[in-house]
Amino acid sequence: MLTLLGFLMIIIFMVLIMNKKMTPLTALVIIPVAIALIAGFGPNLGEMMKNGVKEIALTGVMLIFAILYFSLMIDTGLFEPLVNFILKAVGDNPVKTTIGTAILTTLVSLDGDGSSTYIIVVAAMLPLYKKQGMNPLTLTCIIMLAGGIMNILPWGGPTARVMSSLKLGHTEIFVPMIPIMTLGILWVIFVAYILGKKEKKRIAKYGKHIQYSTSDISGEADPKLLRPKLIWVNLFLTLILLIVMILDIVPLGIAFMIAFCIASVINYPKLKDQQKIMSKHAGNALSVAGMIFGAGIFTGILNGTGIMQAMGNSMIEIVPKSWGSYLNIITAIFSVPLTFFLTNDAYYFGILPIIEATGRQLDIAPEILGRASLVGQASHLLSPLVPSTYLLVSLAGVEYSDHLKYTLKWAIGSSIIMLLGALLLGTI
């Protein structure tokens, strides 16, 4: 019953979002609340939602101040030299632009933080896409594909969860995945080439003056806010912030909060300028934060009612026992839908131990199953349960539903490529 309710909830959510009948925020809140009330969980609903929001609160704070900080840095002109350099490198060629997007995302993603990757890459590349008349959905697609592959880095999250859940080290889980990640990145570059060719052909046919409804985080450039004399100060502050993030010295949300306040005072000593910056970017920060806390309510209800655990267990149980010797392949295949419909915590701490216990009875090594469980990460970042997904679409000014429809087939392609590579190379 719980499993049916869970899939009903997900299906209704996806249908309403993809048909643009509800905004992600309203769907994330109303649908799980309605399903939980119908299922008789009303008395405990408040506590479930509170727990869900509490778990995601720091992420919400981080995204709010990350948007404010990097928006401020764009206003000061920090990224203009990078944009100009990339513009000279790619010229007016959409193919070079899309391939450059894939390579830049891969390099920036080495820090392991999806949110900062989205902010930096969108800030650098969206002006080029607009200038060339390219579809911003192409940008979000490539960024998410590359980010999904790089998310397997040990400090990215999923791999650390696998190592913790199975009590294994990075040499058993991550190191054998490096060739598979390399294959995945080559696939992303190939996809970027295909999408670039399509954009080039479309622009040649229709011109570059098709207007897409976008609203990047910097909004309209304001020359009065540029601070070219402070570019090295701002660069130094940003590098310090990235070092703090990588070393995990303080929670990332707190780091962005402090950095934003320092940057505001340094760049805009006058109170009216600080207020101007806040009001200019408050809309973007609030819209993302709203969806993040909505996702907190969604996952809080899924966890509190036991629906999430039931969904995972039911998907495992539908596999016939005679297929047990193929558990490694089954784990890799099922990791795609499981990591899409469940949070990483629910999958790697709730479901993977069950898979590992089953594998032990079949003499399948836990590291094999651990690596197999990571194959689905190529599609995971598209999930409506991933907070940073809403940040990406907000920064690029596109609808989540459009992004999902545009990117889904390529993300599934990434998972298939990684699965085939893992099988051929004997990784799983």
Predicted local confidence at residue 218, as pLDDT: 45
- Helix axes of 114-132 and 94-108: crossing angle, nearest 10 degrees: 170
Residue 33 to residue 30: CA distance in whole angstroms = 5
Do 223 and 230 contact (CB within 8 A), yes or no?
no
Predicted local confidence at residue 223, as pLDDT: 76
pLDDT digits (tens, 9 = 90+) for 170-190: 788 888 888 999 999 999 999
Q: Calculate mean pLDDT across residues 259-284.
A: 86
Q: Is the pLDDT of residue 197 over 90?
A: yes
- Sign for the CA dihedral angle at 143, 144, 149, 153 comes to positive
Residue written as token pair 């985080």: 217
Residue written as token pair 């249908």: 15
| Residue 281: count of CB within 10 angstroms of its CB | 22
pLDDT digits (tens, 9 = 90+) for 232-265: 999 899 888 878 876 778 887 888 889 999 999 9
Do 208 and 128 contact (CB within 8 A), yes or no?
no
Between residues 67 and 371, which one has the greater pLDDT?
Answer: 371
Amino acid at 260: F
pLDDT digits (tens, 9 = 90+) for 314-358: 766 766 666 667 888 888 888 888 888 777 777 787 678 778 877
pLDDT band at 227 (very low <50, low <70, confident <90, very high): confident
Q: Calculate mean pLDDT across residues 80-98.
A: 79
pLDDT band at 209 (very low <50, low <70, confident <90, very high): low
Q: Is the pLDDT of residue 303 over 90?
A: no
pLDDT digits (tens, 9 = 90+) for 211-221: 554 444 444 45
pLDDT digits (tens, 9 = 90+) for 150-172: 888 876 678 878 887 787 777 88
Predicted local confidence at residue 156, as pLDDT: 67
Predicted local confidence at residue 297, as pLDDT: 86
Predicted local confidence at residue 245, as pLDDT: 72
Do 273 and 222 contact (CB within 8 A), yes or no?
no
On whether the pTM is more than 0.75, the answer is: no
Q: Calculate mean pLDDT across residues 295-308.
A: 81
